[in-house]
Amino acid sequence: MSNPSFDQAYQMLNLAREAGASLETLQALYMSGLLSDLLRVENPAVVDREKFRTLLGFDPLFSRVKLGGPETTDDIVRMLRKGGFLVNNPITQKNFPLAPHEAQDIEIKVVDPGCSFSEAEGLDLLKAAGLERPTYEHALRFAEQYGMMTSSTKKPFVVFLHEAWLDPGGDRHVLCLHRDSADRRLCLRCPGRRFDGDCGLAGVRPCKPKPSVV
């Protein structure tokens, strides 16, 4: 079994645990053949992940992402590179610092703009879709937790329009995940230029307010 297959199986089973999957749900996964297919697969890109997510009770349009934890940006980059990712050199803890904070589960949706778009147009699209602007932590954690699990030939690039990072020359950059199964990367893109029609746009589902305690 290849390492990507094992890693993917491990992450899928973690999803089951975090979702509080019942014995009946796990049995449904087994009876459907999904678990055995996943554990035998040599190419992670062929797994129908949406079937797993539906059986586990997730909204298939959203990806649940865990924020917080002890990992730094450098830790995430090392993990991605170990998994075969190419990562742009400026993506470091110094330039994109992650500070430990309380764990939080959020949901990210990748929107299809349907055409090329500018930074301003992309932010308007997120607002119209009822989604919040992501931060670079959203991008880094999404790459950490879904980088090897998400693939798309139609929208191989996922753009995160967070507050841009300024390089030493004053140019602005945002994080972009390449999810082509044959060329996985975490790179920087200049939001001052238009994004092509093969780019998806990541937005964050607003958190539901906690019920007040009377």
Contact yes or no for 188/90 (Cβ under 8 A): yes
| Residues forming a β-bridge with 180 | 183
Residue 187 included in any domain: yes
Task: Give the end of a domain, one of 59, 81, 102.
Answer: 59
Alpha-helical (H) ranges within the chain are: 3-18, 23-32, 34-40, 49-55, 73-82, 119-128, 136-146
Q: Are residues 137 and 165 in the same domain?
A: yes
Q: Are residues 51 and 104 in the same domain?
A: no
Q: Are residues 50 and 155 in the same domain?
A: no
Q: Are residues 38 and 69 in the same domain?
A: no
Give pLDDT, residue 1: 36
Q: Are residues 77 and 160 in the same domain?
A: yes
pLDDT in tens, the chain (214 residues): 344 445 555 666 666 666 666 666 666 665 555 665 655 655 555 556 656 655 555 545 678 899 998 999 999 999 999 988 999 999 999 999 999 888 899 999 999 999 999 999 999 999 999 999 999 999 999 999 888 878 788 889 999 999 999 999 999 999 999 988 788 999 999 999 999 999 999 999 998 766 555 5
Give pLDDT, residue 151: 79
Give pLDDT, residue 129: 94
Q: Are residues 97 and 31 in the same domain?
A: no
Cα 87 to Cα 187: distance, rounded to the nearest angstrom: 6
Residue 30 included in any domain: yes
Give pLDDT, residue 15: 64
Burial degree of 83 (CB within 10 A; 0-12, 13-18, 19+):
middle
Task: Give the end of a domain, one of 18, 35, 59.
Answer: 59
Residue 213 included in any domain: no
Q: Are residues 55 and 89 in the same domain?
A: no
Task: Give the end of a domain, one of 37, 59, 81.
Answer: 59
Cα 65 to Cα 157: distance, rounded to the nearest angstrom: 18
- Verdict on whether the full-model pTM lies above 0.85: no
Residue 102 included in any domain: yes
Residue 210 included in any domain: no
Q: Are residues 40 and 90 in the same domain?
A: no
Q: Are residues 122 and 186 in the same domain?
A: yes
Residue 34 included in any domain: yes
Q: Are residues 79 and 159 in the same domain?
A: yes
Give pLDDT, residue 74: 97
Give pLDDT, residue 69: 87
Q: Are residues 107 and 37 in the same domain?
A: no
Read off the tokens for 205. 């589902």
Q: Are residues 35 and 113 in the same domain?
A: no
Q: Domain range spanning residue 23?
A: 3-59
Residue 214 included in any domain: no
Domain count, the chain: 2
